[in-house]
């Protein structure tokens, strides 16, 4: 049995050492949130503040989102598997130089889907959430409920095949077991349905979209100075919640993630309407892997799939009279 109880202390120690030795000006990590089931990103500049740092099953945010355009010199970042993969892609896209970061790599056992956990107590106020080895115990006024951790993971965590950081400067804890997700893939399952049903499902999902762009803002890769939805010259799509505009927004945002999305699930978690955004993204993921043998965030050398080509790339879909 691996011991994960020391992970938060190890993170604090590593952060303290980095700050003390002046190796970094800032450490980005997680601290306890103000509500149960929530850890929140925090920015530590002073070595006396490292005690705020924590690590638990609620550290769901992708911290790679915070690295771009920071004025600080060197930055320490607490990063789990998907954060590191996002960092790798950002380095390749020349958004953050590798030299600017010190990666404190933490193996990840999956993060808890707080919204689903909250539904379990049927509207009662949760006062405290205690994490044990394999359970989350929710406590409130006059009730206590234990949830099985594995059942309440985010969907992206459930199917995660790279929980360990692929690149790091300071390793924390022992790597967790990496296993490919069992059963048929989400994409294959969805594609086994008829086209009309798929269209209906996605139309129903995005009919709830309020165009708040939280998905875009949470995504580590949506860093364009001007997003195509904000552009007015040309104005690609309308800004209202028209069904056609909304569908095109989601299709194109997904398309822009081709070969970059690391399936951290940040977009889906950020969505206030609970839209199944990953349905679009996972398709591109699986296509890029199948057709071009590329998996985002796994290597610093391999060229991103849409920046390169092979002469014999598949082209079976072309009209050949």
Partner 1 sequence: MVDNKNWNPKIIAFLCNWCSYAGADLAGVSRIQFPPNIRVIRVPCSGRVNPLLILASLQHGVDGVLVSGCHPGDCHYLTGNYMARRKFTLLKSLLEHAGIEEGRVQFSWVSASEGNRFAEVVKEAVENVRALGPARKLVKTPLSSG
List contacts with partner 1 (CB under 8 A).
187, 190-191, 195-202, 228, 236-238, 240-245, 247-248, 251-252, 254-255, 258, 280, 283-284, 287-288, 291-292, 305-306, 309, 311, 313-315, 317-321
Q: How many CB atoms neighbour CB 22 within 10 A?
A: 9
Enter the tokens of residue 234. Answer: 């040309």
Chain centroid, CA 88 distance in Å: 13
Least Cβ distance, residue 138 to partner 1 (angstroms): 37
Q: Which is nearer to partner 1, 40 or 185 (CB)?
A: 185
Least Cβ distance, residue 253 to partner 1 (angstroms): 11
Residue 117: DSSP 8-state? H
Q: Which is nearer to partner 1, 75 or 257 (CB)?
A: 257
Q: Which is nearer to partner 1, 97 or 317 (CB)?
A: 317
Pairing of strands 135-140, 39-44: unpaired
Q: How many CB atoms neighbour CB 232 within 10 A?
A: 8
Least Cβ distance, residue 321 to partner 1 (angstroms): 3
Q: Decide if 80 contacts 156 (C-beta within 8 A).
A: no
CA gap 58, 176 in Å, rounded: 17
Q: Which is nearer to partner 1, 30 or 280 (CB)?
A: 280
Rg (CA), the chain: 21
Least Cβ distance, residue 247 to partner 1 (angstroms): 6
Least Cβ distance, residue 159 to partner 1 (angstroms): 17
């Amino acid at each position: 049995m691996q011991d994960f109880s020391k992970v938060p202390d190890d993170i604090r120690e590593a952060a303290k050492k980095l700050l003390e030795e002046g190796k970094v000006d800032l450490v980005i990590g997680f601290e306890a949130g103000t509500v149960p089931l929530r850890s929140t990103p925090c920015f530590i500049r002073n070595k006396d503040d490292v005690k705020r740092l924590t690590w638990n099953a609620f550290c769901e945010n992708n911290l790679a989102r915070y690295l771009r355009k920071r004025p600080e010199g060197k930055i320490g970042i607490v990063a789990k598997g998907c954060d590191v993969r996002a960092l790798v892609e950002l380095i390749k896209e020349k958004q953050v130089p590798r030299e600017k970061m010190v990666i404190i790599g933490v193996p990840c056992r999956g993060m808890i889907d707080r919204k689903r956990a909250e539904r379990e107590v049927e509207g009662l106020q949760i006062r405290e959430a205690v994490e044990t080895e394999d359970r989350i115990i929710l406590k409130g006024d006059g009730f206590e409920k234990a949830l099985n951790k594995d059942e309440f993971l985010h969907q992206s965590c459930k199917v995660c095949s790279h929980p360990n950081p692929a690149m790091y400067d300071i390793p924390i804890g022992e790597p967790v077991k990496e296993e490919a997700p069992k059963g048929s893939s989400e994409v294959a399952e969805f594609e086994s349905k008829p086209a009309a049903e798929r269209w209906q499902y996605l139309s129903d999902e995005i009919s709830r979209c309020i165009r708040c762009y939280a998905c875009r803002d949470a995504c580590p890769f949506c860093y364009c100075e001007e997003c195509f939805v904000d552009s007015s010259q040309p104005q690609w799509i309308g800004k209202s919640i028209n069904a056609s505009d909304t569908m095109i927004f989601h299709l194109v945002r997904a398309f822009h993630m081709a070969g970059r999305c690391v399936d951290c699930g940040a977009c889906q978690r950020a969505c206030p309407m609970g839209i199944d955004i990953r349905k679009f993204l996972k398709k591109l993921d699986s296509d890029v892997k199948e057709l071009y043998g590329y998996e985002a965030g796994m290597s610093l050398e391999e060229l991103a799939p849409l920046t390169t080509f092979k002469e014999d790339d598949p082209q079976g879909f072309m009209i050949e009279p």
